[in-house]
């Protein structure tokens, strides 16, 4: 299967101070090309507590969104305003086209569901026929079984609906475009830069994959490759260059990092040199 390419710049939707991606192609594209993973937040309504098989949409932390915007690969869109404006500006012809696209997608989904059910039914009949052949025919009931089998097959064939009788399913699209026109790029919106953004951008420029580090008590987890293939190497915290750091925090971070087989990394931007410097701590006491 060929890798899907997404046209840049692509929109990142701002919803209640969160940065969201709805398109699965964009989600896979930024992970493959830009080493941006984000966090999948789509859950099943009946099982809201589950977080193992979460799906789209993908939430980006502000640092990830800002990095993509600064690279020129993405732009920020006010999701609510853009969606409302796109729907109110639709002409009658565009509304008809919108409904027809949804009906077409629903019909394709219904036909796919029907084909799956037909294959399942065929496998069931083949399995039942194989068991009957394995048992061998009884001399007295051969004609009766043959008649019953032919009747069952004819009845099953009459029950199976034709493609023209299939009712389209109701489809809820995950994106508003197409058929709505894509929002135009704008540079007016830019995610705010946190004090640790310089460290985030520095580690990302070194080809590290970064993810939120709350579960280990840090700001970021730094991976040498895709998190699906590698364990994280560093627990990273960004600080200002002149910020005082408690010695107890350094000891606690070093012990925690060593205990989970990672390094405790602290870094910040040195304004006098206009560069980011990082320091790694390990607990070496016996």
Sheet holding 18-21, edge to edge: 39-42, 55-60, 18-21, 10-15, 74-78
Contact 92, 28 (CB under 8 A): no
Reduced to 3 states (helix: H, G, I; strand: E, B; else coil), residue 266 is strand
Q: How far apart are CA 216 and CA 208, in angstroms?
A: 18
Q: How far apart are CA 140 and CA 286, in angstroms?
A: 86
Q: Where are the beta strands (DSSP E) in 120-246?
A: 209-212, 220-223, 234-238
Q: Choose, from 22, 262, 264, 269, the residue flagged as catalytic.
A: 262
- From 219, 176, 203, 206, select the one nearest 61 (Cα to Cα): 219
Quote the longest CA-to-CA distance of the chain: 100
Helix and strand numbers, DSSP H then E, in the chain: 7, 10
* 124 has catalytic annotation: no
Q: How far apart are CA 286 and CA 284, in angstroms?
A: 7
Q: How far apart are CA 200 and CA 210, in angstroms?
A: 8
Q: Choose, from 223, 233, 264, 269, the residue flagged as catalytic.
A: 223
Reduced to 3 states (helix: H, G, I; strand: E, B; else coil), residue 58 is strand
Catalytically active residues are 223, 231, 262
């Amino acid at each position: 299967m060929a890798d899907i390419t997404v046209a840049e710049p692509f929109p990142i939707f701002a919803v209640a101070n969160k940065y969201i991606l709805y398109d699965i192609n964009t989600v896979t594209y930024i992970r493959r090309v830009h080493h941006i993973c984000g966090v999948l937040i789509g859950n099943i309504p009946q099982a809201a507590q589950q977080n193992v098989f979460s799906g789209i949409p993908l939430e980006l932390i502000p640092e990830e969104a800002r990095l993509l915007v600064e690279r020129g690969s993405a732009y920020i869109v006010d999701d609510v305003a853009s969606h409302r404006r796109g729907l109110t500006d639709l002409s009658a012809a565009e509304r008809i086209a919108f409904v027809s696209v949804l009906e077409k997608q629903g019909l394709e989904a219904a036909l796919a569901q029907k084909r799956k059910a037909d294959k399942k039914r065929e496998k069931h009949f083949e399995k039942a026929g194989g068991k009957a052949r394995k048992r061998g025919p009884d001399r007295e009931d051969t004609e009766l079984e043959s008649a019953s089998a032919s009747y069952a097959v004819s009845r099953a064939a009459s029950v199976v609906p034709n493609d023209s009788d299939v009712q389209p399913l109701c489809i809820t699209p995950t994106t508003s475009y197409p058929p709505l026109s894509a929002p135009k790029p704008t540079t007016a919106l830019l995610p705010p830069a946190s004090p640790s953004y310089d460290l985030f951008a520095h580690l990302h420029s070194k080809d590290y994959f970064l993810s939120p580090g709350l579960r280990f008590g840090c700001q970021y987890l730094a991976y040498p490759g895709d998190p699906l293939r590698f364990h994280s190497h560093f627990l990273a915290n960004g600080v200002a260059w002149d910020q005082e750091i408690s010695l107890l925090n350094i000891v606690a971070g070093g012990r925690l990092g060593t205990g989970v087989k990672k390094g405790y990394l602290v870094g910040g931007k040195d304004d006098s040199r206009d560069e980011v410097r990082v320091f790694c701590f390990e607990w070496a006491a016996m």
